Structure formats: C-alpha cells, structure tokens
Structure 1
C-alpha cells in the first residue's frame, strides 16, 4: 500500500488549495484518526507513506503503527547537490518474507528470497521535469545497488511513492519503458547531478513514432448513462488526504 497522507505543514502553507474543503475536516486532530483507521482497515503487509511530518511520525504515527504490529523501515537520502535536495526522501530496504523457515532473528539463508522495497516522493513542480528525472535517476541507481545479488542478478523490486507525474509524462514513460523520449534537447548538455554521485551517462537515446494505417469504421460512442450529481472535496469527512491510497496484491514465485 502506498499513500500520500498530506503533510499538515503543506496543507497550512498552501491553504488556498483547500478553500473548497470544510474547515472542520482540515485540522490534524481530525485527520489523523481517519488516516489510521483507513490504514488499519487495509492491513497491508508493506506500507509506504509520503508527506509524513517528522514530529507527527515520532509522537503519533510511529506508536500507532507499532500498536498495529507494523515496524518502521530505514532512511536513505543521498545529498550533496542543493538543486536536488528538495526535502524529499528515498527509503530503500530489503524485506525477508515470513514463513521462509528461518528462525526469528537469524539472517536469511537465501539472499535471493528478499524483496527490495523503495519509497519516494519526487518534486511536485510541473516545470522542473529535469529535477524529477535527476531524483529518479539517483533513486534507481541506489535501488540497483541494493537489489543486486552476488551473481549479477537482481532481487524483486517494489517501487512505491508519489512520482508527481501523469501516465502521459516523459518521466513515467522513462520508468515503465526504459527510455526517455524528448524533443528540443541538445545531446551533451551538462548533467544536473555532480560526478561524485556516481551516476553513469551511458544510456540509449531513442525516438520512435508508431507506424499504422487506420482501418475500418470508427468505434461507436454510446450516450452517457450516468450523470455526476456532486463533486466532493478532498480532504473530507470520510477521506482525510488529498490523495488516494493505492493497493496491489503480489504473489511471490517459489
């Protein structure tokens, strides 16, 4: 489960974005119980949260999650570049599935049975796709290092987070298709990250256009049968974030 729970500081600093919401639904004292109830109802084995304030986490969220049997993960943030340090974090850790036969507390017998889980929150600014790409490149490089096995293969990787990118964006295409399609960029421009971060510039540049010929009549379009009566606001009395949680179920192959 991945969930951006909406930082109270960001809500306060960007109050104009929530003018359509009922004021009683915005205080943290109101939102926290709803968020914890929602997390408990879904009962996910792996929980990745974004926009978690440090003070709220230490004083309230962490104890509440521990009471539900959830353990906190590890912290990873690779600093050194002011342009990339945008108060975003990357969390990367290896999880050993339960029921593998290893006694509690003992190191896992088979390193390949671990799952690499990463959680991130990329920059929001829609005009700084270059910064998002640099953040993602650094994260993927670290994921590759952590998930790599001694024989050169990789452990299964589960990447969660708020990418602040639509499915039509070049960043999403780069992540899902393994290449970046661009127009108007000069090859050989200075990289946004410094060499000391160890990110290689070896990559493939591809630009392809699909070749197709329309055939047959256009598809029929049916008349709308449903009418939206009301557009509710987020956060509201039932859902205490301006994001929706995403959940998926995986089956590990033996």
Structure 2
C-alpha cells in the first residue's frame, strides 16, 4: 500500500470508524486504531469546548458533549489548523435545538467575537478623510473584522446581561466587529443589516443611498445614510474609501 493510500484509509477510520478501512490498514490491529480514533474525537471535543465556553455553560456539559459528537460525526476538520474547526458549530446547534434558536444565536455571537478579535488589522477611517470625497463614485471599505447575521431572539441582551431568552417582536440583526483591541457586539435593525451587507458587497455609497431612498423615501433615506455613515465611522466599521472611476 502506498503512503497516500495508507493516509486515506487511516483518515477514513478516524472520521467514519470504517471497519473496511481499518482492515486495509496493514500492520495495525483494531484496538490500536481505536486509541487513535478516541484521541481524534477528544481533541475535537476539546477544541469546541475551548471555543464555546459560554455556550457550554448555557446548555450544560452533557447537552454540549452530545452536540459536539453530532458535529464531529457530520463535519470532519477542513483546514490545517484546529482554530478553524469551531466555524459552523452554530449550524449544528440550530439543527439540534430548532425550538430554541437562542442557543445557536449565542454560539454564533461567541464565535464571531473570537474571530473578530484575531481578524486582520485595518486603520479606521477618520471623518476628515471624507471631506474631499466624490460621493457619487465613492466606494467604502468595511472592517475585515465585521461579522453579521439575522436573529429572532434577544441573544444580544442575553450575551451581555444573562437572563432568560425570549423571541424578538420582529427579527433583528447582529453586528460584530473590532474597535481597537476590543471585539464589539450590537443589535441593529434589519434595514441597517441590509445596508451594511450591501456596502460590504458593493462598497458604493450612492447605491446605499438608492437602497435607503427606496425603502424610506428619498429625503429620509439620504438622511439615514448620512446618520449611519457617521455612526459607522465613529465605531471604526469603515476602514477605507476609494473613488470608482466612471466608464
């Protein structure tokens, strides 16, 4: 058996506990293989526990362990570092606890805050930098630490203050980013969430104004775009501004 084949069979045993793969791994008996598989699973459970301590405390150690095992069975490691393995655990929790969306939303917050903290550095844009900008062709750059999602519960309040989870009267958005050396979390309206997503994708301030004018009317939409722009700059969410050259 070639080395590459041996590696594939060994991985199949670790990930799937395939007895056929175990039988094809020459020179290793099943008890020996079981040691490796137990270590593999223990390492991944430990990774999730380290990545989601607050979520673990919230749902309890037994429920968390069961969720971790489900996640490990469905989602083998996909990157060279274990730091990346925690990504997507909120999706597993959403499937396991469909009647308690706060669980997956809290897990998303925990992971988003951690990843925002180690995101690439970027110098926030100062308000003075915008004075001479051509707003008709301006393209704004948002922080590489920015993470966003829609939520249906008061997960943001539960994260900050604890207490009982409850559904929101209307869905809202969560925004996570880093300001200086602090990861920040804020609940926003769905409209602001949509505006940030539009800006993150396109960067065009003119397109953002068009979106808000369509939703709110021209006068109120432009005023809201200006108010949010000032707030985003003050919060270090905007880290660059370029000018698109018209064609």
- TM-score, reference length from structure 2: 0.30
Bigger Rg, structure 1 or 2:
2
Normalized against structure 1, the TM-score is what?
0.29
The structure with higher relative contact order (CA 8 Å, sep 6+) is 1
User: Whose helix fraction is larger, Structure 1's or Structure 2's?
Assistant: 2
